[in-house]
Amino acid sequence: MTTSATLLTLDSDPTKLGDLQARVDALCRDAGLDSLAACEFTTAIIEAVTNSIKHGYLGEPGHPIRVHWRRAHDSIDIEIRDRAQPPPAGFLDHAEMPPPDAESGRGIAMIRAYADSARYARVDDENVLNLTRRL
């Protein structure tokens, strides 16, 4: 059984998302996900961090977001922590994909589709989102 963990810290600056995408995708591939699965789970993580920046911090740079990446023996477990304003209650339940001609509203549905589990909690003034993808 191989386990490993990495902490990725980024600023709430949308221009940092490209670097995060590349890093997370590489970690997922190294952990054993194939190219498509790595891209899918990376998309879920990027959508979650994007939500934190866009809706939590209202697009304002200068706030830390921590992405804890952990490879367990049969899964990749991600924990995303920030101190932004909390999302609306039950936001993860609104997972219906909007119609194809909608210009927005796909983020949560993509998170739910590409992660095997998604859980949110507010802990000590922090938003904590846990995402898991089975290997």
Partner 1 sequence: MQFAHENRDGIDIVRLPERLMMADAADAKAQLKAILLNGSGRLILDLTQTGFMDSSGCGTLVGSLQTARKQGGDVYLFGMGNNVRALFELTKLHTIFRIFDDEKAALRAMP
φ, ψ of residue 47 to 5 degrees: the values are: -60, -40
- Quick check: 100 binds partner 1 (CB under 8 A)? yes
Q: Name residue 76's beta-bridge partners.
A: 71, 133
Q: Kindly write out the interface string for residues 108-127 of this chain, putting x where it contacts partner 1 by CB under 8 A and - elsewhere.
A: -xx--x--------------
Q: Applying CB under 8 A, does 82 fall inside the site for partner 1? A: no
Of 15-23, 67-75, 84-92, 125-133: span binding partner 1 (CB under 8 A): 15-23
Which among 3-11, 38-46, 80-88, 120-128 is the span making contact with partner 1, rule CB under 8 A?
38-46
Q: Which residues contact 52 (CB under 8 A, 6 or more apart)?
A: 12, 65, 80, 82, 84, 127
